[in-house]
Chain A
Amino acid sequence: MDEFTVDLDRHGDIVVIRLHGELDLRTAPTLRDCLAVALSQLDAPIVVVDASRLTFCDSSGVSVLLSGYGLAKAAGGHLALSCVGGRLTRVLEVTGLISHFQIFPTTHEALAELR
C-alpha cells in the first residue's frame, strides 16, 4: 500500500496542500489535521488542495474534503481543488459533489485565479 503524505505550502494568502498516495479511512485523519492547521493560519483562509499525486480516495476522504470546505467557508474563506483525476473524479461524480467544489485544471491556474 502507498504511504499517504501531505505537503503544505504557503503562496502569499493562499495555502496549497499537495496530497500524495491513498486517502482512505486510515489516512483521512492526517489530512484532517493538516486542513485544521492550514485553516487556522489565516483569517479568511483560501486553500487549494492539489490532487495530482493522489492515487486513491474513498468516501472518508471525500468527507474530510467536505469538512474542510465547510470550515473554510465558515471562516469566510474558500477551499478549491486542483489536478483532480482518476479515482477522485469518479468518487466526486458518483456522490454528485463534483459540482459543489471549485476545481482547477492546475494549481498554477488556481493560484492565478484566486489571488
Chain B
Amino acid sequence: MATSRRRAGTRSQLVLRGLPFAVMALVAVADLVAGPALAFLSLLTLGPTFASVSGSVRRTAAVGALALVICIPLAAYSGTLLTWQNNLTLATLISVTGASMLAAHLRLRRERELANVRLVAEAAQRVLLRPVPRRAGDVHLALSYTSAAAEAHIGGDLYEVVTTPMGVRLIVGDVQGKGLGAVETAAWVLGAFREAAYDQPDLVCVAQRVEATLTRHLGAESFVTAILAEIGDGELTLLNCGHPAPLMLRRDGHIELVTPPEESLPLGLSAMTSATPKPHTCTFGEQDQILFYTDGVIETRDPDGAFYPLIDRAELLNEGDPQQALDALREDLIDHAGGPLADDAAMLLLRRHGY
C-alpha cells in the first residue's frame, strides 16, 4: 500500500511539474487562434503561479522568464508590442513571478521545517519502541506493530525485549485509552521495565517497580494491561497482568491459549487490591512458538462486525522464518479489517530454534 501511495505521489509530482508548461502552451495557442483583441496573454501568469506550487524559487523564476519570452514575440507578431495593454501584461507577468518566487521560498522553508520535525519524531519513536533483537539465546523473535494513528509508528501498545544476567525478559502491554496521553504512559512503563528488568531477581519484582511508577503518574481509573515473560531452559515464566492470554503453538501442531491459573489486575490498579500478581510457568521446548499480542488484534472486526479469529488463523505462523510468518499473519489481519485498523495492534512471536 505504501509503495502504491508513493507511486501515486510521484505521478502527481510529475503532473505538477509539467502543468506550468502545458498551461502556457495552451495560452499561446489560444492567443494565436483568437487574436490579440481577447487579451489571452495575461493568462501566461498561470505559468509561474503553478510553478510555485511544486518547484524551487529558481524554477519559478525560470518559468516566469519563459512566460516573458513567449509573450514578447507573440505581441510583436500581432502588432501589440509597446501598447498600453501589452505593457500592462508584461508588468503583471513580472510582478506575479516575483510574488510566486516568494511563495515558493516560504513553502520550501516550511517543508524543510516539517521534514526536520518528522525526523525528530521518528528518532523519539525509535527510542521509545526499539526494534527487538532477531535472536536472543536460542529463541528467534519477530515483531509486528500496526499503529492506528496515521503516519505514526507508536501508539498505546508497547513491547520490549532485554537480555539480562537473569535471562531474556520481555514485556508486551496495552495502555487503556488512545492518543498522546497513551504514548506518554507507554513511555513510563517502558522506562520502568528497562531499568527494573536488569536488576530485579524475578518478574514479580519487575512488575512491582512498573506498578510503582504508574501509581505515581497515572490517574486512579487508568490502567495498562501487560504480560511479562522470562525465557528459561525449556520453559517460560509468565506474569499476566490483565492481558489477553498468549497463544502457544506446539511443535506437534497443537494450539492453545496460555491462561494464568489466577487472573491478576492490570498495572496501575494496585490501589484496588493487596494481592500481588502470581507468575506461572509453561514448557517451551524446541520448535515451540508463542505469540504475544494486544487487544487491537482480537478486537479487529471485518466490515460485518465479526472479530478476527486469531486462533483459527494462527496456522499461518507455521510457514517460513518467524518474521515472514508474522508478516503473513499481519497481512491476514489487515485483509480481515478491509482497511486501516481501528486500534493499535502489536504482535511478538517467539520461536525456539528457528527452522
Please list the residues of chain A having a beta carbon within 8 angstroms of any beta carbon in chain B: 1, 25, 58-60, 62-64, 66-67, 70, 93-98, 100
B222 touches A94 (CB 8 A): no
A94 touches B242 (CB 8 A): yes
Please list the residues of chain B having a beta carbon within 8 angstroms of any beta carbon in chain A: 174, 176-178, 220-223, 225, 242-245, 262-266, 269, 272-273, 295, 299, 305
B221 touches A96 (CB 8 A): no
Give the chain B neighbours of A66 by CB distance below 8 A: 221, 223, 269
Which residue of B222, B244, B262, B265 contacts A97 across the interface (Cβ within 8 Å)? B265
Task: Tell me whether A67 and B176 are in contact in the complex, defined as CB-CB below 8 angstroms, given that A94-B242, A100-B272 are known contacts.
Answer: no
**Bound-state Cα–Cα, A97 to B268, Å:** 13
Give the chain A neighbours of B178 by CB distance below 8 A: 25
Which residue of B220, B262, B265, B295 contacts A59 across the interface (Cβ within 8 Å)? B295
Judged by DSSP, the binding face of B is loop
A25 touches B177 (CB 8 A): yes
- The smallest C-beta distance from A87 to any residue of chain B, in angstroms, reads 9
B305 touches A1 (CB 8 A): yes
Give the chain B neighbours of A62 by CB distance below 8 A: 176
Give the chain A neighbours of B244 by CB distance below 8 A: 94
A60 touches B176 (CB 8 A): yes
Which residue on chain A has the smallest CB distance to residue B243? A94
Known: A94-B225, A94-B245; 16 extra A-B contacts, CB below 8 A, are A58-B295, A58-B299, A59-B176, A60-B176, A62-B176, A63-B177, A63-B222, A64-B221, A66-B221, A66-B269, A70-B220, A95-B225, A95-B242, A95-B263, A95-B266, A97-B242
**Bound-state Cα–Cα, A62 to B299, Å:** 15
Task: Tell me whether A63 and B174 are in contact in the complex, defined as CB-CB below 8 angstroms, given that A93-B263, A94-B244, A96-B263 are known contacts.
Answer: no
**Bound-state Cα–Cα, A63 to B178, Å:** 13
Q: Can you give 21 contacting A-B residue pairs, CB < 8 Å?
A: A1-B305, A59-B174, A59-B176, A59-B223, A59-B225, A62-B176, A63-B177, A63-B223, A64-B221, A66-B221, A66-B223, A67-B220, A93-B263, A94-B242, A95-B265, A96-B262, A96-B263, A96-B264, A96-B266, A100-B265, A100-B272
